[in-house]
Amino acid sequence: MSTATPSGDAVGSPPAAAAPPAGEAPSTSASSDVRASAQAVVAPRSALRPVTERMMPLLQVLALICLGFVAAEAAMYIPDPGAEGARAARIFTAILVGGWVVIAGCWAVRARTRSRRLRVALAVVVLVLAVPLTLYGTLGLVFPVLILALALLVLDVSRRAGAIGWAVMALVPPILLIATGAGAYQVATSLFGVGSLEGFGFALGLLWRSHEERGETDRRLLAERDEAVGRLEQAMERLRRAADTEKELVLADERTRAARDLHDGLGHRLTLIAMSLEFAERMRERDPETAWAEVGTARGTATEAMDQMRTWVRALSPVRDADATGLAAFDAIAESFRGTGLDVTVARHGDAASVELEEDASLLLYRTVQEGLTNALRHGRARHVAIDVDARACAGTSGAGGVTVTMTSDLDAAARDSTPVGPLPRGFGLRGLAGRAAALGGSASARRVDDDVVLTVRVPVAAPSEPARGEP
């Protein structure tokens, strides 16, 4: 973070555990994290396989076994050809056997097709074949087929079609009984018996259809989720490329500025040294005193060049001690910059000696001081920097506490002309610093006040955990 110019902010290293702040490229693992969290929203695809597809084969096989027993029983007890009702028995047995074969074939085809139209046609065919079965004298083993036929009509066609099929299957036997002159008791028994039992088939169809619709909704959500995650990954990749491009532009601008400053400063002094030594060489025979004076001038210019070079070396390669973090590390950073001729003072207030920071907050403040001093040299060409640390520990388990670091650096004449008064525009480094501070619940700002630039970073201090009962 720069303390002197809106565009020359240096880029510090982000905390290891913090989320990427605004202005920095997103982590390469961010897209996988997003996909993992999105997958937790909807059940896995394997869990969305319709329950009907798992239950249906077993139920169909059991229903066909029951109908097969009925057909076999009817075939075994066909009366002799001359006996009364033998022809009707043969016809009904043929209907049972033929119906068993056609129903089994329809269900087998249904299990292998995903065509809605074909499934509708198969459901209607099975229902039409099932209606004559309601006329069978004993409905016990016939009813599994009737229940499944009606349930599949609701599932594959519609709820309205299922209701119509229920009415047809419940009304056909009583109507035929009335036509044959049966009594009211027999008609009522058939109506309520078949109707109530077929109600189970209608209810089963409603249950399956509701589950299928929920599964379809989940599959649509899965497809939308995958599409949204794909778009998010593309957006994050574009953001990463844009951040990389911005970083390269900032670094290119810094290199250009460094080259210009080296040329205008160090290059000019080296030219003066060369001219002084050349003049002294020409004058050493005619005027030795003037020649030695010029040599002294060259030596003074060389000293100035060395001082400037040391400043640039420290600015371009600041001290980086991985083990020096927290408030106690500020003195070490300040001392490393004093060798450049920069006057750095560190003042502490409040609970700075005892407050404890989390690792991320400690690293953020360390990088703030390090980069602030670097940019004060490189961009503000400061001669004095004051670091003020105000730490306030939490009062109890719910009190508010925090650490505020304020860096005040002066500006030379050139920097004063190029730095606006008031809040400084957020360059690349300031955006990154502010983003990292915000991620920790703090804040960061930079502004010019009179002839100084003031950088302020605040991070909160977590409240101490309350000891468990019985602990000292």
Domain-wise residue ranges, the chain: 45-227, 323-460
- What's the CATH architecture for 323-460? 2-Layer Sandwich (3.30)
Give Cα separations from 355 to 103, 345, 352, 461 (angstroms).
81, 20, 6, 8
Q: What is the pLDDT along the chain (472 residues), one digit of tens a residue?
A: 444 443 344 333 333 334 444 444 444 444 455 455 444 444 444 444 456 677 888 888 998 898 888 888 877 877 767 666 677 778 878 888 888 899 999 999 988 888 889 999 999 999 888 887 776 545 578 888 888 999 999 988 999 998 998 888 888 878 887 887 878 887 887 788 788 888 888 998 898 888 888 888 888 898 999 999 999 999 999 888 887 787 777 667 767 766 776 666 677 778 888 888 888 888 888 888 888 888 888 888 888 777 767 666 665 555 555 555 556 677 777 777 776 677 888 888 877 666 777 778 888 888 788 778 877 877 777 888 999 888 876 554 445 678 889 989 888 877 777 777 888 766 656 777 788 888 888 888 888 888 888 889 988 876 554 444 444 4
Question: So what's the pLDDT on residue 118?
Answer: 92
Enter the tokens of residue 199. 């109600």
CA–CA distance, 141 with 121 (Å, rounded to integer): 25
- At 464 the three-state DSSP class reads coil
Q: CB of 459 within 8 A of CB of 442?
A: yes
Q: Which residue has the tokens 């390469």?
A: 28
CA–CA distance, 385 with 345 (Å, rounded to integer): 7
Q: CB of 232 within 8 A of CB of 31?
A: yes
Q: CB of 415 within 8 A of CB of 446?
A: no
Q: Report which residue type is found at 337.
A: F
Here the contacts of 27-34 (C-beta below 8 Å, separation 24 or greater) are: 30/236, 31/232, 31/233, 31/236, 31/237, 34/229, 34/232, 34/233, 34/236
Nearest in space to 31 (alpha carbons), one of 245, 228, 222: 228
Q: What is the dihedral of CA 73, 76, 81, 84, to 10 degrees?
A: -40
CA–CA distance, 153 with 125 (Å, rounded to integer): 10
Q: Which residues contact 432 (CB under 8 A, 6 or more apart)?
A: 1, 9, 11, 12, 14, 21, 22, 23, 24
CA–CA distance, 454 with 461 (Å, rounded to integer): 22
The Cβ-side half-sphere exposure at 131, using a 13 Å CA radius, reads: 19
Question: So what's the pLDDT on residue 317?
Answer: 57
Q: What is the DSSP string of 15-28?
A: PTTSPPPTTSPPPT
Question: So what's the pLDDT on residue 361?
Answer: 82
Task: Please name the helix (run of DSSP H) or strand (run of DSSP E) that holds residue 456, with its range, or none.
Answer: strand 452-460
CA 110 to chain centre: 41
